[in-house]
């Protein structure tokens, strides 16, 4: 008896998959929802929404969501790339400014040391 049921199910399943009867897959999702939750309204709403999305976009809901997520991650990566470039530019400018300030401070310090040394040696009053 069990072998007979198994054989019938195998023939039916092979018929669906080998003949290219693809719409059966659109019934599997709502069917699983109906069986697991016992909520026929939820399963039928899911089926109707999936059919409406497919009719409007020409894509299944799973494909549409996948493409949307890929597009959003691409935009996010592009934004992160822009942010990274901006950050590097600002860091480079900060380093250049620090270097200029250090050079100015070094020149001021050098001038002050020269003045102190001249005052100590009293070189200001001596002419050559």
Q: How far apart are alpha carbons 82 and 88 in whole angstroms? A: 10
At residue 30, what are phi and psi to the nearest 5 degrees?
Answer: -65, -30
Give the N- to C-terminal CA distance of the chain in Å, as an integer.
125
Residue bearing the bigger pLDDT, 110 or 1: 110
User: In this prediction, what percent of the chain has a pLDDT beyond 90?
Assistant: 5
Distance CA 87, CA 104 (A): 26
Q: Which residue has the higher pLDDT, 1 or 100?
A: 100
Mean pLDDT over 102-109 rounds to 87
Quick one: pLDDT at residue 91?
92
Distances (CA, A) of 66 to 32, 34, 36, 44, 126: 21, 24, 25, 23, 86
Q: Per residue in 8-62, pLDDT tens?
A: 888 887 776 776 655 666 666 666 666 676 677 776 777 788 888 888 888 877 7
* pTM exceeding 0.85: no
The residue that leads in pLDDT, 42 or 86, is: 86
Q: For residue 127, give Cα distances in angstroms to 52, 95, 109, 111.
A: 99, 43, 25, 19
């Amino acid at each position: 008896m069990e072998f007979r049921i198994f054989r019938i199910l195998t023939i039916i399943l092979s018929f669906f998959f080998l003949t290219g009867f693809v719409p059966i897959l659109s019934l599997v999702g709502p069917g699983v929802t109906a069986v697991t939750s016992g909520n026929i309204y939820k399963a039928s709403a899911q089926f109707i929404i999936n059919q409406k999305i497919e009719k409007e976009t020409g894509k299944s809901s799973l494909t549409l969501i996948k493409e949307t997520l890929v597009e959003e991650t691409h935009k996010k990566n592009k934004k992160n790339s822009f942010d990274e470039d901006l950050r590097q530019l600002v860091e480079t400018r900060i380093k250049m400014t620090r270097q200029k300030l250090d050079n100015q401070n070094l020149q001021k310090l050098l001038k002050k040391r020269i003045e102190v040394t001249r005052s100590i040696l009293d070189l200001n009053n001596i002419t050559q």
